[in-house]
Each structure stands twice: as C-alpha cells, then as structure tokens.
Structure 1
Amino acid sequence: MPKVPYHLDLPEAITSRVVFASPHSGRDYPWSFLRTTVLDDQSIRTSEDAFVDRLFDCAPQFGAPLLRANAPRAFLDLNRAADELDPALIEGVRRGGHNPRVASGLGVVPRVVSNGRAIYRGKLPMAEAERRIAHFWHPYHDQLRALLAQAHAQFGESVLIDCHSMPHEAVDAVARNCARRPEIVIGDRFGASAAPAIVSRIEAAFVAAGLSVVRNMPFAGAYVTQAYGRPSRRQHAVQIEIDRSIYMDEVEIRPNANFQAFRRLLRGVVADIASIGHEGKALPLAAE
C-alpha cells in the first residue's frame, strides 16, 4: 500500500483563504494492487490526473496550501463518497437506489478505468474496500476539512479549488457550440457549490491567461464540490478540469514539449486565484 495517504505542501505563512487540492494525481501504485489487476502498467494509469499536482505546486508560494493525494484513482477515488460502494465489485454490498457513478463502475473503489476497461477479474472482499477507505479516504478528507476550517476561521471564508484534468475528447460535444474549443471546465454544480462572484473571479483568472473556459459542461463537480461547497456559509468549492493534451502526451502519459510553458502560465493563474479576497491590498511578491 502507499506509505502515506497524502502530501501536504504548506506555505511559510497562510495568507490566502484558498485551498488547492489534487485528489486524482496520486501515482503510488501498491505492488499488491498491481498484482490483482488485469491491466498493464500503462493502462492502469489512464484514469489518473497525471501531473496535475505539478501544475499547481506553486500554490504555497502564494500563501495557499496544496493537498495532494498519494493513492491513485484506480485504487481509490477520493472524489466519491465513502459509501459509494459498487455491488458489482465489492462482495456483500446490497444494491440500493440508482447511482450513475457507481453503475458505470466509478464508485469509491473503481471497477473500471477510462473507456470502461475492467480493473479486476472478479470481486473484492468488503474488508479490502474498508481497509482502503480507512487508510486513505478518511485521512485525506480529514485533512481537507481541517484546512478549510482553518481558512474559514482565519478569513471568514474558504475557497476550495479541486484540481483535475480531462481527456481532450471530453469536450467534443460542447466544443461544437463554442467559438473556441474549451480548454478549462469550471464546475460549481450549476451555482450550488460556490457564490457567483467567486466563480466569476476564478474564470477571469484563466481567461486573463488566454485560456478558453466553459462552466459545468460536461463536468459540474462530483462528491468534493457537493460535500464542501456551502456558499451560504461562505464555504465555496470549485472544480477545475484542464485539457490534458495541452501539457501531456495522453497515450504515453508523460509531459509534452509544452509542459513547462503551460506550468509557467498557470503560475500566474494560481497567484491570481490565491489573491481572492485581497483585492485592493498590496501583496508581497513571491520568489521565482
């Protein structure tokens, strides 16, 4: 199993109400897990938000924490509720009401990776699912809740930026109705997880960097935005999806020639988002 459930990168002093988190970029694949999967080492990584943690790793330089999962998404999905157990995969789970994520094999312990490819030959014991949830899901979410509570106590407001990536073809249907193909999808559950002013501020940061942005289509946010977004309490949660083809080779799962340039571009976006709430105040310049 991965040695630790997450990495937490903290600034020298927290000066931002924004918390950045990357729940799907974990790449610590346990040997015991790799022995049980029918997929090869490359295929098992296709549902991973590869390198997203590196794209946002400058956040602490602008006074904001960055929480990074270690466990890979194919092993355990931190953007699902702990009780989203798949009866087609986990022994002893009773079939309940229809949950489209679970039905498609994308519960908290996924049954498939991208394109519906099965991860396992058969079922997993309930004890294995419970072990993964206890050792990885709960510590990650306990830490995330603590960071958001600290931001809310310090600033009277918290803003969670849940960082993800999407396959290039994910926006094909949306792109047909856009003047320019979307590169960023912002999800706020159609206004339920964050105040309009916060979402507009985040969108403006990406647009100012020259990136094409759409909202909520095809990704509006999943468990994390639903669980942590309470705009009436000044607790905002926004999901960010970035087109993987901008910065990586999706087939080889490696950074492409544009990776460093895009990372530098996002540095300005991260700095802008981290400054939410500081409008009109002079902020110290972060060192390169």
Structure 2
Amino acid sequence: MQKQAYHIFAPKNRRTSVVFASPHSGNDYPDWFVQRSLLNAHTIRSSEDAFVDKLFADAPGFGAPLLVATAPRALLDLNRAAEELDPALIQGVRKVGHNPRVASGLGVIPRVVANGRAIYHGKMSRAEADHRVDHYWRPYHTALTNLLKTAHAKFGEAILIDCHSMPHEAVASVSRRGGSRPEIVLGDRFGAAADVDLVDQIEAAFARAGFRVSRNTPFAGAYVTQQYGRPHRRQHAIQIEIDRSLYMDEVEITPNADFETFRNRLRGVISEITELGADTQKDVAAE
C-alpha cells in the first residue's frame, strides 16, 4: 500500500496568512529502499533535516498550518523541480544543459547523501523515478499550492516559511560582521522571493530571541522559494536554515540536552512570525 506523502497539521482556527512547511524532515524509510542502498540505515539519514518538524510543531497552536513530508530526502528531494532528473542515476534521461545540483548528484532523486556518499550501485529505471515523483513529489506540492491558495483567498496574501536545518560545518567558514558565525540563515533569493520589509521583520524576530542571523549566505533558497516566491502577487517564500548543532547530536542523529530549551526559544519566534500574517490580515471572504 502506498503511504501518504505528507501530513498537514491544521490549526483549529486559521488566523494568519503564514504557512509553515518542512520538506526534508521525513523519516519514513521503506525497507526496500534501505536494503537496496549501499549505505546503512544510519548513514542514509545524513541528509535528513531531522526533528525540524518537531521544532515547528507549535505553529498550528498559533493559527498557522504546518505541512510535513513523510518521504526522506534521500528517497526524493521536494526542494527540487520534478524535471531535475539525473542522467547518471536514471536510465533514459538525457543531459540537458548544465544544472550544478543535478551534476553533483542532488537532483529530485538524489544520487548521493551528505559528503558525496553514493546511495546506489548502478542506475534505476525511468519508470521507478517517475513513480517516486508521482507518488511523493506531486501530492506534496499540490498540498502546498492549495494551502497557499487558501491563505491568499482568505487574507489577500500568503507567506510561506520553508523550514530546514543545516550541518554546523556549513556555517563554519561564514562570518557575520563582528566575526561571529550565523545560527540562522534566511533565504529569500536576494529579495526575489519575498518582500524585503517582511524578511527584515522575520530577521528581527530571531534576533530578539538571541539568535545570530545572516541572509542568503550560504543558502539563498532553492526550488521552493524560486517556485512559490511571488512578492508582486503578495505571495512570499522565505527559507529558514537552522544550525543543527544547536539542538541535536549530528553524529548520532538524536536530540541533544538543549533540544527543549531551543524549541522554547523558537516557539516565541514562530509566534511572532504568525503575527506578521495576522497584523495585516484581511478576510477577503467576509467582504
């Protein structure tokens, strides 16, 4: 039986135009997938945004829906276009132009996990690749599109917060002014995916909670922000990357001793972000 591609945690009362989504925290690893992989059940999780869905689980309590993928990122990457198929992995796929993500093995069906470790030996059929896209990618993005359409219809705008985590080493060489490393990276594709004032307010919310924040470095956003960020249509998409070392043991892939403290700090930020969509809300349906 095909498992559901996502879960939507809906608020009792939708009171904000904000939608939270976690495309990379899925950890439903089918037995056949793990058995087929060259990697063991632990190593294959290295690309997973582990526990991000738990970190943002309070969002519905503040009136915002939370969309969570079930499929793991190693199986299918929801932050890639459905057409980003890797000819080095999938039979019958022709190379079209140069896509650096696909070339590095990080297409919609990844060839590698973190640190370039190969997932498979040999290639898979185009039919299998299409099946994964049809049964995981399309349902998730249909659900996300519908959540944003509902927000726009009710409030006259939609704000997507795309929730991710990043390895600590990803920011080890990144310094903010003053020399400190960022703990949070906000990606808005350098202003193309969201209104600058809105991103300023989100950054300020994290700063008030004591987080060090940078913008678009080293992550500016990928397919999701590019596809859904339409600020001229009052639809904004902001990617949030959180340093994993703040709340988890990256080697063991387990919550660390600071997990609940971190989650409580983040809870206040989630509350402030949802208010950004409530402050200007305009119930179009009531007009």
Range of TM-score over shorter length: over 0.9
Shift in Å, 1:278: 3.3
Aligned residue number for residue 196 of structure 2: 196
Distance 1:2 1:119 in 2: 22
Shift in Å, 1:189: 0.2
Aligned residue number for residue 285 of structure 2: none
Distance 2:202 2:268 in 1: 12
Identity %: 65
Aligned residue number for residue 286 of structure 1: none
Map Cα deviations across residues 226-260 of structure 1 (whole Å, 9 max, x no partner). 00000000000000000000000000000000001
> 1:34 and 2:34 equivalent?
yes
> 1:182 and 2:182 equivalent?
yes
Q: Is the 8 A contact 2:176 2:214 kept in 1?
A: no
Shift in Å, 1:44: 0.1
Distance 2:169 2:32 in 1: 32
Q: Is the 8 A contact 1:2 1:28 kept in 2?
A: no
Distance 1:174 1:91 in 2: 39
Number of positions where the alignment pairs a residue of Structure 1 with one of Structure 2: 281
Aligned residue number for residue 6 of structure 1: 6
Aligned residue number for residue 24 of structure 2: 24
Sort the Cα spacing of 1:198 and 1:75 in 2 relative to 1 into closer, same or farther, 3 A: same
Shift in Å, 1:172: 2.0
Q: Secondary structure at the match of 2:276?
A: coil
Shift in Å, 1:174: 1.4
Q: Is the 8 A contact 2:159 2:277 kept in 1?
A: no
> 1:118 and 2:115 equivalent?
no
Distance 1:129 1:45 in 2: 20
Distance 1:170 1:153 in 2: 38
Structure 1 stretches of 4+ moved >4 Å = none
Q: Is the 8 A contact 1:10 1:60 kept in 2?
A: yes
Distance 2:126 2:42 in 1: 27
Q: How does 1:256-275 map to 2 (within 5 A)?
A: 256-275=256-275
The amino acid of 1:232's aligned partner reads H
Q: Is the 8 A contact 1:194 1:229 kept in 2?
A: yes
The amino acid of 1:26's aligned partner reads G
Shift in Å, 1:177: 5.7
Sort the Cα spacing of 1:2 and 1:40 in 2 relative to 1 into closer, same or farther, 3 A: farther
Distance 2:25 2:237 in 1: 18
Map Cα deviations across residues 246-288 of structure 1 (whole Å, 9 max, x no partner). 000000000000001001111100000001143499xxxxxxx
Aligned residue number for residue 59 of structure 1: 59
Q: Secondary structure at the match of 1:124?
A: coil
> 1:165 and 2:165 equivalent?
yes
Aligned residue number for residue 231 of structure 2: 231
Shift in Å, 1:32: 1.1
Shift in Å, 1:201: 1.1
Sort the Cα spacing of 1:178 and 1:81 in 2 relative to 1 into closer, same or farther, 3 A: farther
Distance 2:38 2:171 in 1: 29
Distance 1:29 1:172 in 2: 30
Q: Is the 8 A contact 2:18 2:277 kept in 1?
A: no
Shift in Å, 1:2: 6.3
The amino acid of 1:149's aligned partner reads K
Q: TM-score, normalised by structure 1?
A: 0.95
Q: Secondary structure at the match of 1:217?
A: coil
Aligned residue number for residue 129 of structure 2: 129
Q: Secondary structure at the match of 2:173?
A: helix
Q: How does 1:77-156 map to 2 (within 5 A)?
A: 77-156=77-156
Distance 1:144 1:280 in 2: 22
Q: Is the 8 A contact 1:79 1:224 kept in 2?
A: yes
Shift in Å, 1:176: 7.2
Aligned residue number for residue 246 of structure 1: 246
Give ranges in structure 2 of 5+ residues lacking alignment. Answer: 282-287
Distance 1:89 1:280 in 2: 47
Give ranges in structure 1 of 5+ residues lacking alignment. Answer: 282-288
The amino acid of 1:179's aligned partner reads G
